[in-house]
Structure 1
Amino acid sequence: MSHTPEEMRGQVIEARERLAATVEQLAAKADVKSRVQHKAADVREQVRHTASDAAHRVQDKTPAPVRAVASKAADTGRRRPAPAAVVAGLALVAVLVVRGRRGRSRRLGGGRS
């Protein structure tokens, strides 16, 4: 089975092309940083999409008067963040105080049954 020089050249060229493709595939697999960056971008996009869907579902189920008040509060917060933060902090403190009193009165037997 003797091969002509042209047949051998063709086989060498094909082998080089296959080898080049294999090297490119291996290089892509070895580039962990790039793979992680692509995966992170995919995950970020998926999280954005999921968050957007959840926000739309919540907005659809929220009554219009509540949406209007929330929108007005958000606008005020964007225009004047310091007072909005103070009001939010005071509201949080009030909720914690009320919860603490309810829990204490229940432990002492003074709560509603």
Structure 2
Amino acid sequence: MAKITYIEHSGTEHVVEVANGLTVMEGARDNNIPGIEADCGGACACSTCHVYVDDAWVSKVPAKEAMEEDMLDFAYEPDAEKSRLTCQLKVTDALDGLIVRMPEKQI
């Protein structure tokens, strides 16, 4: 189980525990966190679960695969270093304390 902090664009923070094996997107969905729409349900076929990973975590999360890189091209104001799709971040104990920030909108 990992404690993850989701920060809305407005600055509102939501700290939730997410079970190992789920994705960061599923953690947001299951806890009704606003700002992560996940229109494709986690299939890496859209960019509506886009977040910016906190600076302290950029080097700690697993590397992006090609499909995620491609989908991030469609995200709102992607950041080459910090942008991630939460459907591609599998929760493990190593992500305990992860902080992600939502963009102004999802597209």
Q: Give the TM interval when normalised to the shorter protein.
A: under 0.3
Higher strand share: 2
> Whose relative contact order is higher, 1 or 2, with alpha carbons under 8 Å and at least 6 apart?
2
Larger Cα Rg: Structure 1 or Structure 2?
1
Comparing both structures, which one devotes a greater share of its residues to helix? 1
